[in-house]
Homo-oligomer: A and B are copies of this chain.
Amino acid sequence: MSSNLSNPLHIQDPVEALKNTFRNHASGVAVITMLDESGKPIGFTATSMTSLGANPPLASFNVSSGSSSWPALCKATWVAIHTLGEANQALAEKMAADHTKRFLDDDWDFGAKGLPIFKGVTSVLIAGIREIHAVENNAVVIVDVIDGLVGVEQRPLIYFQRGYRIG
């Protein structure tokens, strides 16, 4: 499938082009948590979390509006953004699997703004949801960072070639 510069291989199907690109593009791994309207903890793994600017401090992440977290997210005021490191691969996997089993373990507690905060991650940002832009069956969420926690210093967890790796 690889080629060189002088003979690049076209992928005419744009869905396949996108999939090929994101198999080959590394991303950091985050877990985003919130409360639903009844106060129940909700959360999910995101590989799209990124900075949007430092002054004022802004971040963004993308989410499918078909995800189990969407009904809570689109009504939430606050989110906790956890960045994950090499010790957190099991957390990344859990928060992308069965949504009814994401908060059963003793690896989190309620913290700032009542948000569920997982332990042992690299860092946590506390942020307010500022804008949500719906795009087809997805959304771009833009947040204002108001506070943060320093966690465990460790190598970063990355997602690449459809699997987790240590960066």
Q: Mark A residues whose CB is within 8 Å of B.
A: 1-6, 8-12, 14-22, 24-28, 30, 47-60, 62, 64, 81, 83, 85, 117, 119-120, 122-126, 130-131, 133, 135-138, 140, 142, 144-153, 156-158, 160, 165, 167
Q: Name A84's closest neighbour in chain B (CB-CB).
A: B25
Q: Name A146's closest neighbour in chain B (CB-CB).
A: B14
Secondary structure call for the A interface? strand
Q: Which 8 A-B pairs have the closest CB atoms?
A: A17-B148, A5-B119, A18-B57, A2-B153, A26-B156, A53-B138, A48-B50, A26-B28
From B26, B59, B147, B160, give the contact of A10 (CB < 8 A).
B147
CA distance A157 to B130 in the complex (A): 31
Quickly give the copy total for this chain: 2
Q: Tell me if B48 and A47 are in contact (CB < 8 A).
A: no
Residue contacts A-B, CB under 8 angstroms, 23 given:
A8-B117, A8-B151, A9-B149, A10-B149, A11-B148, A12-B147, A14-B145, A14-B147, A15-B57, A18-B51, A18-B57, A18-B59, A18-B125, A20-B148, A24-B123, A24-B156, A25-B123, A50-B50, A53-B138, A55-B137, A58-B138, A156-B158, A160-B167
Which residues of B have CB within 8 Å of A136? 53, 55-56, 58
Q: Name A53's closest neighbour in chain B (CB-CB).
A: B138
Q: Name A1's closest neighbour in chain B (CB-CB).
A: B150
